Every structure is written in structure tokens, then in C-alpha cells.
Amino acid sequence: MTDMTPIPERSSYHFAVMRRAIDLVDEMGPQAQLSDIARAMDMSPAHFQRLFSEWVGVSPKRYQQYLTLGHAKALLRERFTTLETAHGVGLSGSSRLHDLFLRWEAMSPGDWARAGEGLEIFWGWFESPFGPALVTGTERGICGIAFSAEAGEAAAFADLTGRWPSAVFTEDPERLRPWVLSAFGAEGAAPLFLIGAPFQIKVWEALMRIPSGQVTTYSEIAQAIGHPKAVRAVGTAVGRNPVSFLIPCHRALRKSGGLGGYHWGLPVKRAILAWEAARGEA
């Protein structure tokens, strides 16, 4: 197991507990009692409730409602937002998470085409609210976040480093730590440095307009970036998002209300959506 820099009060242990709870909720159904879930996890109800309250800010019973398989459809029905209005809402300071995105810039198309040649990228493993996270960044900001709870650490590392094969990768978690702390809940700024093709960056910029706790669809994103027929290409760009969570590709759903895919595993996507909805309520 790779040594990881901890994020205070946001340990991967809490995510591991929550990940097991997702499976139990699916298996036992939404009517399962707190005592039943706690017993299945070899915990006392009090201990189980305390862990979840620390992690998400609401009781396990309330959080359980956000973990049900129908939650994505409920989000789309009740919390769908059009990107035209989300720009004013999401980036105006109403959500602290979106305040982070006031500082971002993108690599030039020419530099992107050279696959990171001449670029030094720093990396480190950190504990996060959603399990172990591999974070990469340049001198300008975070350029990658990968979650390994489902994919595994080796696959996550190969994925992010393989995107920019000509770059020089240097392990230096301390350089990244202040940004990571900000990204996962502390004060301060977490600047982003987007490395991608121009079309991808348009899609990622649209994703950053979706307020926390709300969702949109791939077709809505295609409309917002001026390519209404490019729904499939939008889906591909969403899936290639290198900065998970901060560029919230988890908030993009199918028009039917289905979760769609998620690069780091659907359980992680469900967990993030539930975490945001519950914390927004709290």
C-alpha cells in the first residue's frame, strides 16, 4: 500500500465504511434499518452513526436515501439545472467549491499536442473523502485527480501518467498538499491547470458551471458548448476528464436519469453525488 498524505477529518477509512454501506443498501434495500446495516458491518449502531455523521454531516438514515439506486433519477427530476443559468449561480460565490474555479487556465493546443514535452508534473498519494487519491499538478495548478478505491493504485497511476507521456513526473506530495487540502474542504485556493484538446476543455469548463448538489445531462452540455449534435463526443470528453471531483464529471447523467459511466467506478460516482447532496442539505 502506497504511503499517503492524510487529509484531516477526511480519511479514506470513512470512505471504506461508506463503500461497504453502498453494497449493503443495494443488497438489503432502502427500507433496511440502521441497526441491520450496522450489524452487517460488525459495528454498533452508535459507532456506525458517528462515523457517517463525521464523514457527511447527516445521519446514516438520511444518507441512505441518497445511496438508493433511484437517486440519480430523483436528482435529474428535482435538481437539474441548465448550464445557461448555472454559470451565474455556480460561479458567483454561492458554493465554496466553485469559488476554487475562479483560478484556472489551460495548456495551449500546441503544448497539448506535444504530449507534455518539457513539462514537469508533480504527483503524490493522498487520503480523500472518496478513498485514496492520486493527485498530479504543475507549477500552475492541479492537473489530475484519480480515485483508486475501485480501479486500484497501479491502474490509476498508469492512467494519469499515460495521458502526458512526454512529461517528467516527480514525486513531491508536499508541493501539492496545500492545493489538495483546499480541494477537499480546507480554506484557500486550489488552482487548476487543464491539459486537454480544445473541445475537451470546452466540455470541462461547462462541467465546472454545474453547482454542487445539482446535475445536468450530456445533451445539455452539448447545447451549452454550441455543438448540440455532439452528445457522443461530449460523453467521451466527460469520461476523459483528468481532474475528478474538481471538474465535476460525476454531475453529468444520461437523459433517462441513469448514472452513465464513471472513469473511477460507479460506486465512487454514487458516493460523491450522495456526499454533495447530503452536505448541501446539512
Q: Which residues are catalytic?
A: 249
Residue type, 86: A
In which residue are the cell numbers 500500500 written?
A: 1
Q: Is the dihedral of CA 216, 226, 237, 91 positive or negative?
A: negative
First to last CA, the chain: 34
Instruction: Report CA-CA distances (Å) from 169 to 128, 158, 194, 256.
Output: 22, 12, 16, 41
Rounded Cα–Cα distance for residues 182 and 85 (Å): 26
C-alpha cell at 30: 432502502
Q: What whole-number distance in Å separates Cα of residue 67 and Cα of residue 25?
A: 7
Q: What is the DSSP string of 145-190?
A: EEE-TTT-HHHHHHHHHHHSTTSEEEE-HHHHHHHHHHHTT-SS--
Write out the three cell numbers for 73. Answer: 433519477
- CA–CA separation, 265 vs 112, rounded Å? 27
Indicate the SS3 state at residue 219.
helix
| Distance between CA atoms of residues 157 and 155, nearest Å | 5
What the block records as the C-alpha cell of 50 is 458517528
